[in-house]
Homo-oligomer: A and B are copies of this chain.
Amino acid sequence: MDAPYLLYYWPTIQGRGEFVRLALEEAGVAYQDVARQPKTGMPAMLATIDGAQTPQAAYAPPVLGHGDLLIGQSTNILFYLGKQLGLAPRTESGRLWLNQLQLTIADWVAEVHDTHHPLAIGQYYEQQKAAAALRADDFRTHRLPKFLDYFTQVLQNNRGRGGFLVGSKLSYGDLSLFQMMAGLNYAFPQAMARLAPRYGALNALHDSVAARPNIARYLRSKRRLPFSEEGIFRHYPELDG
């Protein structure tokens, strides 16, 4: 399909939409970040999650439109885009392995979110600060090193092939791991600085993705929204130990 890609996501945060933006930006294809268009953008985005207006409405953004397709859930969008944009292995077994890793990243993202929202997704952080301190302590101490260890081992088991997560060329999994490391460095700078010596391979992957021409250009552009205390990765010093 030669139709442009339409990304429907909250217009002021990186959030889960950022994993999709990075794939579109790396591929250098035309896309519209719909909800950032004045006036018409937000109603169009909200229609994609309204089952009364949209037969196959998503539970939540991000949603990708492409021709007749409307696809929800970030890992599902990336599974589709991987094939479309050449950001996934050609074999079915390779694509399943990449999808498995991306799903593990999505679980990690959810756990990062829960560090500031352990009790109620619909309430403010300020209403659950004490519980957040406990959840974040558990995250920094147990969950964060476990995920970092896991992806370090995956890179180690794929060594000698260019430092990519899967196979011998860049995939959307590498872009997503870049985003994880960037977000974790923003949200938990002290914890990540302490852990950095153990995770050289992940830091090298972050740096090599950031240096890719299309990604470097994107990161300098206004299309890259800043990290903030509205998104998934939030810097609350009291949660950083």
Asked if A176 is an interface residue, CB under 8 A from chain B, the answer is no
User: CB within 8 A of A135: which of B59, B118, B143?
Assistant: B118
Binds B, one of A29-37, A70-78, A204-212, A226-234: A70-78
A120 to B134, CA, bound (A): 8
Q: Are A122 and B96 neighbours in the complex by a CB distance under 8 Å?
A: no
Proximity string of chain A (105-123) to chain B, C-beta cutoff 8 Å, 1 when within and 0 when not? 0010010001000111111
* 8 A Cβ contacts from A71-93 to B: 71-73, 75-76, 79-80, 93
User: CB within 8 A of A56: which of B73, B107, B156, B157?
Assistant: B157
Asked if A201 is an interface residue, CB under 8 A from chain B, the answer is no
**A99: chain B residues within 8 A (beta carbon):** 73, 76, 79
A64 to B26, CA, bound (A): 32
Q: Are B58 and A100 neighbours in the complex by a CB distance under 8 Å?
A: yes
Q: In the complex, given contacts A58-B100, A119-B134, what are 4 additional A-B residue pairs having Cβ atoms less than 8 angstroms apart?
A: A72-B104, A107-B110, A110-B110, A118-B131
